[in-house]
Structure 1
Amino acid sequence: MKAVQVVSDHHIKLFLNFPSLLFANDKNYIRPLDQDIETVFDPKKNKFFRSGECERFIFLNDKHEMVGKIAVFINKKYRQAQPTGGIGFFDCINDQTTANFIFDFAKKRLQEKGMEAMDGPINFGERDKFWGLLIEGFSEPLYAMNYNAPYYKELFENYGFKIYFNQLCFGRKVYDGVNENFLRMHERISKNPAISARRMKIKDLEKYAADFTEVYNKAWANHGEGKEISKAHTLKLFSTLKPVINEHISWFVYENEKPIAMWMNIPDLNQWFKYLDGKFGLWQKLKFLLVKKFKTNKKMVGLVFGIVPEWQRKGIDGYMIWEGTKHFRKTTDFEDYEMQWIGDFNPKMIRIAENLETEVTRKLATYRYIFDRNKAFERHKML
């Protein structure tokens, strides 16, 4: 078996196509957009190259057949108890010997660069994309979410990886009953004339970007590993999402004109992208517009939920949820709701999800492998 670094267009094509061949008979597999994968490996588009380095490889057996792939990277801002590198975009045939060869290769590359452990499968980027190994809930993945076969869990754990933290997704049916406590909260808060709930509107995107930034920074920036974001960053994100924003499903709450809470949701893009086979050229963009127009998307995804500290535990969550739910039940076709993953180290956010009367829909895992096998393993610290 040999490793081949991905440098040519031919190698890139093999890297991108391999999962589709591996999961050709898996009805739940949705191929990610090639451009989303390639952006990760483009130093001009991925800011993480400023503080790190990344390389990717494909693996061929003695018959020159492709049997696996992986990305190996270092992010100097990824500070852990020991210098820790990352592996991601791992795919492999169902063979432990092959997987061990790939993991050994990645380990050696990282050791040569001074690393003492590796986490994976993770992204050479933010945690909101391509992060974690699916270990429960093998249904269609959400947009930019990793998907793999069940046997991957054995490949990781048999090698010696241990779960650093679990990633939980929570979901519910849109028309399921709403918690009675939320209804009482809504009734009580509704009597306060200073409080109002408003849905996000595209024509006022800049205003809502500013309001989102204010709430997010107060609610999450000092929470665990959070960091402040700028209005410019939020506006760039909102502008990117503009073609798929549904004005009925993202909500803000105000005290007079001061933003105090937000609940950001978007349609699940994979319900449209699954018809494009990973491509997004001119023809696929036209096809996307047609699919978006004529194929009803019945799944929405929860991105962020936040309340400023001074209004937490005062009923604003129930007020906002019922205001939003009443509205999008009347104005949209959505039937299913699923939240982006929450780390099991974040009990505060898990309680919020559970209060929505959700159930765990899928579980992913971030694994860690410490090179010194005599060193004690510790899970992610609780927030």
Structure 2
Amino acid sequence: MILIEVTDSKTKKQFHKVPHLIYKNDPNWACPLETMVEDVFTPAKNPSFKTGEACRWILTDESGQLLGRIGAFLNLKKVHTFEQPTGGCGFFECVNDFDAAKMLFDASRDWLKERGIEAMDGPVNFGENYMNWGLLADGFVHQGFGMPYNPAYYVDLFKKYGFEVYFKQFSYHLDYSKPFPERFWKIAGWVAQKPGYTFEHFSFDKTEKFVDDFCYIYDEAWRFHGHFEPLDKDEIRDFIKTAKAIIDPEMIWYAYHDGVPIALFVMIPDINQILKKLNGKMNFINILKFLYYKRKRIMTRTRILIMGVVPKYQKSGIESAIFWHQDKLMKHKPEYKEVELSWAGDFNPKIMALYKSVGGVEAKTHYTMRYLFDRTKPFKRAPIIGLED
């Protein structure tokens, strides 16, 4: 087998071809747009390169037949927030052959080792964790946009190499045709109309204000997590720019108390329902197809990317109030029947309880896995929020 670093247009094309070979007979797979994947590995497009670097490879047999691919990356802003400096690997695709998978994992491990890294998380993204993060272990059905999908045998490949589950990620599905529990609405309506509380959905003409508010809420909400790093505003600007064609401003909400931002809610249409028809390309013809299918309202699902509440307000019912406002608007969008609430880490019991309280049913499980380079070192799982040492 031959490992080849991706450095030119030929190897880039091969990198994108690998998943088509892996999923050619899988009706659940939605091919991501190649341009979005390329942006992850392009310094001018990905703000993570400001404090990080990345590399990627393809793997072929002696005859040139593609067998797999992988990327490795590190962000100096984040690697030292753990007990040992930790980088990541991702965009892993591979035939069901452990020797092939081992060569790909070894390439990532060695590249990270050369840069002083002592552990590797995977499969993860070179960026924030609401996109391309985790290994699907249960729930091999359609995935919400940005949530990874993979063959079931990948779990065995990762575990056989020595990866262990650092934390589990649960996705909940909500049938939007069923009413929320009556008790929930009573609390939500009461909080939503309390004096001093205001709610506003996103608008593109006030993007900078909402970027500032997003980062303020995010940083306050996760500040006391053991591995917290302040959010880079460019990450949010980049997401808004990249996803502008699919963002529905009425699905992104902010809550304020006396004018101060205290909570956020980000939901997007599940563009995977269109991407299945585009084969990863966004050429002129596919742009027309995209606009056609969007206008035809074939998207019937949404995905909640993130919810965050400033700690002072986490027991105030503010999350319920956001759902109360959101539900009023969603009644004007009857094409949407299902919501994927993803993802909730097993280290965050509060968000898991919230998703269940609105009627969410656990539907999928992903793993964030970690491989310690020192194989004698004891493995520790992610600490539960609020119970860190």
Please state if 1:275 is matched with 2:305: no
TM-aligned CA deviation for residue 349 of structure 1: 2.2
The CA distance in 1 between the partners of 2:170 and 2:122, in whole Å, is: 16
**TM norm structure 2:** 0.88
Distance 1:294 1:191, change over 3 A: closer
- From the superposition, tell whether residues 85 and 241 of structure 1 become closer, same or farther in structure 2 (CA, over 3 Å): closer
The structure-2 alpha-carbon separation of the partners of 1:23 and 1:306, relative to structure 1 and needing over 3 Å to count, comes to same
Which position in structure 1 is the counterpart of 2:5?
5
Distance 1:302 1:374, change over 3 A: same
Tell me whether 1:128 sits opposite 2:121 in the alignment: no
**Which stretch has the larger CA shift, 139-148 or 256-265?**
256-265
Please say which of residues 32-41 and 98-107 is displaced more in the overlay. 98-107
Q: Aligned AA for 1:102?
A: L
How much has 1:175 moved relative to structure 2? 2.2
Preserved CA contact (<8 Å) 1:68 1:91:
yes
**Matched residues in 1 for 2:47 and 2:208: separation?**
24
**Deviation, structure 1 residue 6:** 1.4
One-letter amino acid of the counterpart of residue 64, structure 1: G
Give 1:107-186 correspondences, 5 Å limit.
Answer: 107-186=109-188
CA distance in 2, matches of 1:203, 1:46: 23
Asked whether the equivalents of residues 173 and 335 of structure 1 are also in contact (C-alpha less than 8 Å), the reply is yes
- Residue identity opposite 2:132 in structure 1: F
Q: Return closer, same or farther for 1:305/1:115 CA change in 2, 3 Å cut-off.
A: closer
SS in 1 for 2:142: coil
Query: Contact between 1:245 and 1:266, CA under 8 Å: does it hold in 2?
Result: yes
2: distance between equivalents of 1:213 and 1:108? Answer: 34
SS in 1 for 2:331: helix
Task: Tell me how far 1:355 sits from its aligned partner.
Answer: 2.2
After TM superposition, give the deviation of residue 270 of structure 1 in Å.
1.6
Cα contact 1:170–1:339 (8 A) shared by 2: yes
The corresponding residue for 1:306 is 308
Residues 1-383 of structure 1: pairs in structure 2 closer than 5 A: 1-77=1-77, 78-79=79-80, 80-189=82-191, 192-202=194-204, 204-229=206-231, 234=236, 237-255=239-257, 257-383=259-385
After superposition, the Cα gap between the structure-2 partners of 1:50 and 1:310, relative to the gap in structure 1 and judged at 3 Å, is: closer
Provide the alpha-carbon RMSD of the alignment. 2.6
Contact 2:136 2:364 in 1 (8 A): yes
Whether contact under 8 Å (2:219, 2:230) holds in the other structure is: yes
Structure 1, unpaired ranges of 5+ = none
Cα shift at 1:71: 1.5
Question: Which amino acid letter does the alignment assign opposite residue 357 of structure 2?
Answer: N
> How far 1:66 sits from its partner (Å)?
1.5
Q: Aligned residues: percent identity?
A: 35
Q: What is the CA distance between 1:12 and its match in structure 2?
A: 0.9
- Aligned partner letter, 1:86: G
Which residues of structure 2 form unaligned runs of 5+? none
Residues 155 and 236 of structure 1, relative CA distance in 2, 3 Å threshold: closer
* Offset from partner CA, 1:335-357 (integer Å, 9 cap, x none): 00012322221223222222222
Q: How many residues align?
A: 383
Cα shift at 1:257: 4.5
> Once the 2 structures are TM-superposed, how far is the Cα of residue 76 of structure 1 from its aligned partner?
2.5
**Deviation at 1:236?**
5.6
Cα displacement string for residues 174-205 of structure 1 (whole angstroms, at most 9, x for unaligned residues): 12231333222134335634444444445555
Query: In 1, are the aligned partners of 2:118 and 2:373 still within 8 Å (CA)?
Result: yes
Residue type of the alignment partner of 1:9: S
Report the residue type matching 1:61 in the other structure. Answer: D
When structure 1 is superposed on structure 2, of 102-111 and 114-123 the one drifting more is 102-111
